[in-house]
Amino acid sequence: NNQGQLGDGSQATRRFPVQVKGPGGVGYLTDVVAVGAGFGHSCALKSDGTVWSWGLNRYGQLGDGTTTDRWTPVQVKGAGGNGYLTNVAAVAAGTFHISALKSDGTVWTWGLNECGQLGDGTTSDRWTPVQVVGPGGSGYLTDIVMVSSGAESTTALKSDGTVWSWGLNRYGQLGDDTTTNRRTPVQVKGAGGNGYLTNVAAVAAGKEHISALKSDGTVWTWGWNACGQLGDGTNTNRLTPVQVKGVGGTGYLSEVKAIGTGENHTCAVK
């Protein structure tokens, strides 16, 4: 809690749960429907579609237009610092950046951007939300139904079942068959680099690897694999998706309902 990431108005380490306080330390934060945690900061989505954050703010990841650490929640401002961010349906925290999916299917990001993880076509840090642009910087990314933030990359699932990603690509975690960082979204390719990954129902970003759950209940992964987090029976990094194998390496994992990723591991619920 050295940056105030617990949101209890202090920097004291806590061995038992503490309730997050309200803005300015008054009362408690309520009506929260989703939360996210990065490296030293936290964020919360309220039922009214507003976003609140607290903790480390070195790169503007709290979205309040400053780089001042906050020990209690502050409301994320709107684009350019005008008003406040509204109509948000989901949030996802990366190491030092945050992504927000709005109810209209657009994606907004703020915080550290050294690898292009904000997807605005630059590598400039942002202290307030910017809208993620479209592929090649043309227009804006739309029709998004899910976002997930990795360490320094971001992944988005479109309503048509395709997957798009941007930011750090050191280990191939963008899935475009390269290790080139991307400042704007690129589409995740299919297995072996053939075509594109389709029929995806959910995505989950780890530190430097990504998992995708397809509508047929199979799981596909790509990126860093030093610890076997891709589940393909190897520790070889993958620049395009590989299918997760079954128990003991026999066949393939199937009938999966949900997936989750940690720093260097992946899990699935059948």
The residue written with tokens 């590598």 in the block is 123
- Average pLDDT for consecutive 10-residue bins of the chain (270 residues)? 97 98 98 98 99 99 99 99 99 98 99 99 99 98 99 99 99 99 99 98 98 99 99 99 98 99 97
Whether the Cβ atoms of residue 207 and residue 150 lie closer than 8 Å to each other: yes
The span from the CA of 167 to the CA of 183, in Å, is: 6
pLDDT (0 to 100) of residue 172: 99
CATH 2.130.10.30 residue ranges for the chain: 150-177+187-270
- List pLDDT tens digits, range 127-152: 999 999 999 999 999 999 999 999 99
The span from the CA of 65 to the CA of 218, in Å, is: 42
pLDDT (0 to 100) of residue 268: 99
With left for phi above 0 and alpha for psi between -120 and 50, is residue 55 left, alpha or beta?
left
Helix (H, G, I), strand (E, B) or coil at 81: helix
Helix (H, G, I), strand (E, B) or coil at 248: helix
The span from the CA of 210 to the CA of 229, in Å, is: 9
Cα 184 to its chain centre, rounded Å, is 15
Q: What is the CATH topology of the domain spanning 150-177+187-270?
A: Methylamine Dehydrogenase; Chain H (2.130.10)
Host H or E run for residue 165: strand 163-167
| Backbone φ, ψ for residue 93 (5° rounding) | -100, 130
List residues bridging with 196 in a β-sheet.
189
Whether the Cβ atoms of residue 130 and residue 116 lie closer than 8 Å to each other: no
Helix (H, G, I), strand (E, B) or coil at 6: coil
Global pTM value: 0.97
The span from the CA of 165 to the CA of 118, in Å, is: 10
pLDDT (0 to 100) of residue 142: 99
